[in-house]
Structure 1
Amino acid sequence: MPRALPSLEEILDAAHVVAIPTRTRFRGVTVREAVVFAAPQGATEFSPFPEYADEEAATWLRAAIEFGWGETPAPRRDRIAVNATVPAVDAARVPEILARFPGCDTVKVKVAERGQSLEDDLARVVAVRASLGPSGTLRIDANGGWSLDEARAALEALAPFDLDYVEQPCATIDELRALRETARGLGTRIAADESVRKASDPLAVARAGAADLLVVKAQPLGGVQRALDIVTEAALPVVVSSALDTSVGISMGLHLAAALPDRLLAGACGLGTVALLDGDVTADSLVPMDGEIVVRRPRLEPEFLDRYAARPERVAWWRERIERCSASIAT
């Protein structure tokens, strides 16, 4: 956290609310709304999804304030390897999606999408493995969408494709712990995401022995320093990811990944998702080149802030949300 919180007036004066279309539907999202701030330490972002309650969203605002008005931990590296992310698209679209991630030899595939079947997931994974080749690293992310039985069946069906890990296959820690035995026998690791960032106790999944590694995001955990503290205490390998952020939010994630000790950084990070947006707030978009992104803070571009400005009623909605979350942080 910053040494002194900026006033609500300072925060609102620095705020720009944007609405950026996505190139394809991503977890039901076709327009990504976010607030970016022209803050003293550089641009920062507040972008909890609209359905999140104020209590949860306040943690995201805390992260935005830390990154824009506070201090950032010293980096240990100046570039971060990133994975490509394939949404739950038809298998025929896989080459088109992967073309947006030049040089990435690790791919994370979304599975367990509501309204789709295991056969849809299999077709998507087959297409990714074919494009990636046998030596590339392949991960899947179910966002807690499977029951324990469904997860076991899915991992057995997907085992021939040499999965690096399955991210949040089930919703609960007990299910993850039970599934871990099956996954270990198949040579696949269990990664926890929602069980960290949406939990009242983000360390519970590590203490329960329910995951082999953690997927962490800076905004939902309250900022770079708090995420570092959680990761250090959990003592598990980590992949840093994003929540379909603009380049500003991606920069926060890059600074988290850059500050991790070598022993805790578990390969390519999920920070290439600006490639899934059909626009950005900067002319210096943080997208992968040769499979990596240089750690930096992009500058806000006034032309793009105007182009992607949200409708007045959405601006009012976000500003009111900031006011409520700011009051929560201050108490």
Structure 2
Amino acid sequence: MSTDAAASLPPLAELLATARVVSIPLVTRFRGIDLREAVLLEGPEGWTEFSPFLEYDDAEASAWLAAAIDFGWSPLPAPHRDAIPVNATVPAVAAASVAAVLARFDGCRTAKVKVAEAGQRLQDDVERVRAVREAMGPEGRIRVDANGAWNLDEAEHAIHAMAEFDLEYIEQPCASVDELAELRRRVNYLGIPIAADESVRKADDPIAVARAGAADLIVVKAQPLGGVRRALEIVAETGLPAVASSALETSVGLAMGVALAAALPQLDYDCGLGTASLLAADVVEPSLTPRGGMLPVGRVTPDSTLVDAHAASEDRREWWYARIARCHSELARGER
């Protein structure tokens, strides 16, 4: 958090006073999980969410708490638009399951397809992308996301294998900035842009990817980057086009991502904020899912009945409270 933000860091007791821990089932296994846990918090500006993935350490998770506080305790930046176009997200499912996944994303003209899943082959990825192209037709837009799982040669081979499907861009094909820069040089003639995600949100220097000429655009996520304002600063510093995306949040957390997308001065791509369609339940009614490929801009309020229905067990609740306390201490120490 910035010095200004730290000056208004709410007391831990204030955060925990409204904290509700929920456990939401997924329609399809995603990122290796079947349940998504999240903490809902109510601040002076409205409801917000803290939901770093379980494997993240406290230093990384503290940025997510900074984001939750920023969204719940500070007014939003002025929006440039009142609705956000979003993409469908296709997990690493079998090709035969693609049509059913896409059917959950009403009116979306773009699909992001997960590739490079552990235990799968490149041919599985090719068949999945082919199924998406067949389902969406020639006018649909397809982007693929490898989450940095390929090495340089694997990435180059995979891009050639999928080039026939007219990819909009390929997201984080390799893990390191140096690999992205070299890959971009190798495949430049194909005209397929390279997008950076983990090289921005998990990097000590999120601007390095732009400085190295390693990406054509960046993917920004409000929670991992420390909040809407910090994400906007990073976009401005890189000078690259940006896509706002989600971290598989409930509709409360997605509203934060929508606020980020709304505040971007320029929005050339559909955003990865339609992921409530991957949830089998939610804490908001109606859920913040795409309608005609769009999401409305604005805060949302949890439905108490739904929050109660999906309340996490007592031991998980205590685990999350302890995590908030540790991350709160991280934020307080970081600005002393």
Common fold, TM-score beyond 0.5?
yes
Match of residue 233 from structure 2: 229
Q: Residue 159 of structure 1 aligns to a residue in which SS?
A: helix
Would the aligned equivalents of 1:285 and 1:298 in 2 still touch at CA under 8 Å? no
Q: How does 1:6-85 map to 2 (within 5 A)?
A: 6-85=10-89
Would the aligned equivalents of 2:21 and 2:311 in 1 still touch at CA under 8 Å? yes
Match of residue 105 from structure 2: 101
**2:150 partner amino acid:** W
Cα deviation code 1:101-157 (max 9, x no counterpart): 011010000000000000000010000000011111110000001011100100001
Aligned-pair distance for 1:71?
A: 2.1
Structure 2, unmatched stretches of 5+, are none
Q: How does 1:111-122 map to 2 (within 5 A)?
A: 111-122=115-126
Aligned residues: 329
**1:141 partner amino acid:** D
1:277 to 276, 279, 293: 279
The CA distance in 2 between the partners of 1:9 and 1:33, in whole Å, is 21
Match of residue 327 from structure 1: 329
**1:190 lines up with 2:213 in the alignment:** no
Would the aligned equivalents of 1:177 and 1:209 in 2 still touch at CA under 8 Å? yes
Aligned-pair distance for 1:235?
A: 0.4
Aligned-pair distance for 1:266?
A: 2.6
Q: How does 1:254-265 map to 2 (within 5 A)?
A: 254-262=258-266, 265=267
Match of residue 88 from structure 1: 92
Aligned-pair distance for 1:298?
A: 1.1
Aligned-pair distance for 1:328?
A: 1.0
**1:162 lines up with 2:166 in the alignment:** yes
Q: Residue 283 of structure 2 aligns to a residue in which SS?
A: coil
Cα deviation code 1:279-323 (max 9, x no counterpart): 111113111000100111111111111111111111000000000
The CA distance in 1 between the partners of 2:191 and 2:133, in whole Å, is 17
The CA distance in 1 between the partners of 2:101 and 2:6, in whole Å, is 38
The CA distance in 1 between the partners of 2:229 and 2:197, in whole Å, is 18
2:268 to 258, 263, 266: 266
Aligned-pair distance for 1:2?
A: 7.3
Percent of aligned positions with the same letter in both sequences? 60
**1:163 partner amino acid:** L
**1:179 lines up with 2:183 in the alignment:** yes
Aligned-pair distance for 1:3?
A: 5.8
Aligned-pair distance for 1:39?
A: 2.0
**1:127 lines up with 2:131 in the alignment:** yes
Structure 1, unmatched stretches of 5+, are none
The CA distance in 1 between the partners of 2:268 and 2:201, in whole Å, is 18
The CA distance in 2 between the partners of 1:47 and 1:195, in whole Å, is 20
After TM superposition, the score normalised by the length of structure 1 is: 0.98
Match of residue 216 from structure 1: 220
After TM superposition, the score normalised by the length of structure 2 is: 0.97
Match of residue 301 from structure 1: 303
Would the aligned equivalents of 1:38 and 1:300 in 2 still touch at CA under 8 Å? no
Aligned-pair distance for 1:34?
A: 0.5
The CA distance in 2 between the partners of 1:66 and 1:200, in whole Å, is 20
Aligned-pair distance for 1:29?
A: 1.2
**1:8 partner amino acid:** L
Q: Residue 298 of structure 2 aligns to a residue in which SS?
A: coil
**1:237 partner amino acid:** P
2:314 to 312, 315, 323: 312
Would the aligned equivalents of 1:139 and 1:166 in 2 still touch at CA under 8 Å? yes
The CA distance in 1 between the partners of 2:178 and 2:6, in whole Å, is 36
Would the aligned equivalents of 2:6 and 2:331 in 1 still touch at CA under 8 Å? no
